[in-house]
Structure 1
């Protein structure tokens, strides 16, 4: 897979994950309560969300009430409010950085800078996916434990809503998209860069076609005459009549 194809696929997955987190945070379907009373006409579906609760009658009429106080929510939904908003902000910033550092845009000129910005955006998308995964798993675990508890009334037992599944899908899209973007290899740099004070090698100069110009030569500082004359004359050694001794 080419680098451009990896970038485009990662950006698409991150965008899908960003939209999924927004939908997961907005719709009131974190918990769903379905029960039918003694009379089938009184069937109701209760939706519990982060920002409002809705009740749908069997006749199709729906009534929603906004959550006035955050303290009335359970601990998992209280944490989900803050964590989903943080995940939305981080994923939005990461998605913008992926578009800025992509090769399809002309915001940056250097290839190395584009690769670094793209990898940074992928890391932010991975962080956003992890942050979104925490409240979704926490809420699902709380809902399952509350459903299996014998102390919970049958009409108050809740099941996993659509927001939980959307949150899982959004987290997976952000994680896979961020990993794909982080694996985009930056361009290889020169092994021997030109440091200050280093002079590149200049070979022999070539003139017009067919002519050769040798490299510039320098004249010697002293002229050699061809005869060596010592500065101080040395007398020849004299020998004594005794062998092995010098005078």
Structure 2
């Protein structure tokens, strides 16, 4: 008994990829990539993302300020912005392309090969989206670690640490890669498990024979 059909794998792939795309889109614009808590004033928490620097105070609340000049941004932030936009675009395209390759979507007679190619293209785009999500997140994490352990910075100076957005970015990138992999698996299942037809699976239909009896 087959527990996983190609149709179920396809739907699961789209669901996982869609979840990864939503998380990627949300955390791209949130200032939760890095966090800082000054030991001299524990009532203040600083947050930084790709677009804003925010400070949270118990009495005032959350206040954010956008970066003034694009050209003055650090190189890791500038590259991360570009890659995250590219990730969102490719992730959206992967869902659209893979949708038209699903079983049950009618593209016309004799379009089964085209639907398989659309599924493969959707898987490739989902992989690209996942990789372009994992790379900037990992790069920002690497820069944060290097700056945290920099011996040239005095110990009294507060250091940036990992924010919740970095962990969300790693999960979303993995979701996109896993979703693309599921699309490839679904294509392989289609090739090895072609749809069964009544003529090939059960043979010619036989009409039942009845014996006519008379009651005396």
Same fold by TM-score, threshold 0.5 exceeded? Answer: yes
Tell me which of the two structures has the higher relative contact order, counting C-alpha pairs closer than 8 angstroms and 6 or more residues apart.
2
Q: 1:108 to 1:155 in 2, by over 3 A?
A: farther
- Report the CA distance between 1:33 and its aligned residue: 0.6
Which residue of the partner structure matches residue 179 of structure 1?
181
Whole-angstrom CA distance in 1 between matches of 2:22 and 2:135: 18
Which residue of the partner structure matches residue 51 of structure 2?
51
CA contact (8 A) 1:36 1:44 kept: no
Which structure has the highest helix share of the two? 2
Question: Residue 33 in 1 paired to residue 41 in 2?
Answer: no
Which residue of the partner structure matches residue 213 of structure 2?
none
Q: Give the SS at the match of 1:102.
A: coil
Which residue of the partner structure matches residue 149 of structure 1?
150
Question: Among 16, 21, 31, which residue is 1:13 paired with?
Answer: 16
Which residue of the partner structure matches residue 97 of structure 1?
97
Count residues in correspondence. 186
Gaps of 5+ in 1: 189-247
CA deviations 1:90-137 (Å, max 9, x no partner) are 110011111111114334552222111111101110011111111111
Which residue of the partner structure matches residue 201 of structure 2?
none
Question: Residue 85 in 1 paired to residue 85 in 2?
Answer: yes
- Report the CA distance between 1:162 and its aligned residue: 1.4
Whole-angstrom CA distance in 2 between matches of 1:88 and 1:94: 10
Gaps of 5+ in 2: 193-216
**TM norm structure 2:** 0.80
CA deviations 1:199-244 (Å, max 9, x no partner) are xxxxxxxxxxxxxxxxxxxxxxxxxxxxxxxxxxxxxxxxxxxxxx
Whole-angstrom CA distance in 1 between matches of 2:108 and 2:67: 45
Q: 1:114 to 1:61 in 2, by over 3 A?
A: same
- Report the CA distance between 1:58 and its aligned residue: 2.9
Which residue of the partner structure matches residue 126 of structure 2?
125
